[in-house]
Amino acid sequence: LNGTVAIAGNTTNFTITMTNVPTDICTTVVSGATGYLSVQVGSNTAITSFPVSPAISSAQCAGGAQTLVFTAS
């Protein structure tokens, strides 16, 4: 990865934000995500149903490097 990773939160929820994630890595990470409240890819609507199918992760990760935001509690 050639971007940043930031963790922010409070006592209830926290987020992990990864920037500049290449498409191939984005697809793998998003389709393998479990245990989160949501995962947002770029400006797409946040995903809240897991596991994420490869088709959905491929569609959301298309178009170049993305920012991923994982929300957990």
How high is the pLDDT of residue 10?
Answer: 83
Per-residue pLDDT tens digits for 26-55: 999 999 999 999 999 999 999 999 999 999
Q: For the CA atoms of 68, 70, 71, 73, what is the dihedral angle to 10 degrees?
A: -160
**What is the 3-state composition of the chain as percent helix, strand, coil, each rounded to the nearest 5?**
25, 35, 40
Query: Is the entire prediction scored with pTM above 0.85?
Result: yes
